[in-house]
Amino acid sequence: MAIKKEIKAYVECELRDYLQTIRDLGEERQQIIYNSPAFDDSGIRGTDISRTCEKKALQLITSKRIKQIERTIAAIQSVLNELTEEQYKLVVLKYWTKPQTRTDEGIAKELNIDKRTMYRWTNVIILAVSIELGLVDNLECQKHVTFRGA
């Protein structure tokens, strides 16, 4: 099944940025924990120090940005856990190697596979991440996502 080119581009971007996204999650959490005290809009005046901690904990739990980052990381990690060793190496070579000095042909050659096989693996990985993120219909695509036979 072919997915929209916009979804494919988005998922490839998320794959490329995956390691940075993990670092971003830690930074977002640290920023909430260590930055200035949480804004108090309750209208209650007082010096109850524990309220600041409660507010920061609540911000950590309810932050939409943190939720989105965690969702993206979990989706990609779920797919990565299902990959064969060669497919995982494809992700490392294609998306995480910086600066990228290899062409797709060079990556395929390093993996000792045909370029068409590399594209098929890439498409299956992108489709699986798309399903995990809820960007495409799971039922319609499920038959197309198998890592062992890809």
Rounded CA-CA distance 53/91 in Å is 40
Question: Does 75 score more than 60 pLDDT?
Answer: yes
Region 18-26 average pLDDT:
91
Q: Is residue 102 part of a domain?
A: yes
**Domain contains 149:** no
Say if residue 54's pLDDT is above 70.
yes
Considering the domain boundaries, does residue 139 fall inside one?
Answer: yes
Q: Is residue 63 part of a domain?
A: yes
> Can you give the pTM of this predicted structure?
0.75
pLDDT in tens, 82-116: 999 999 999 999 999 988 889 999 999 999 999 99
Q: Are 126 and 12 in contact (CB under 8 A)?
A: yes
Rounded average pLDDT over 8-33 = 90
CB 68 within 8 Å of CB 24: no
Comparing C-alpha atoms, which of 136, 111, 109, 139 is closest to residue 123? 136
Q: How confident is residue 61, by pLDDT bands cut at 50, 70 and 90?
A: confident
Position 150 in a domain? no
Q: How many domains does the chain have?
A: 1
Give the pLDDT of residue 73. 95
What are the structure tokens assigned to 52, written together?
Answer: 């600041």
pLDDT of residue 43: 56
Distance between CA 77 and CA 132 in Å, rounded? 10
117: confidence class by pLDDT, cuts 50, 70, 90: very high
Which pLDDT score, from 0 to 100, does residue 9 have? 96
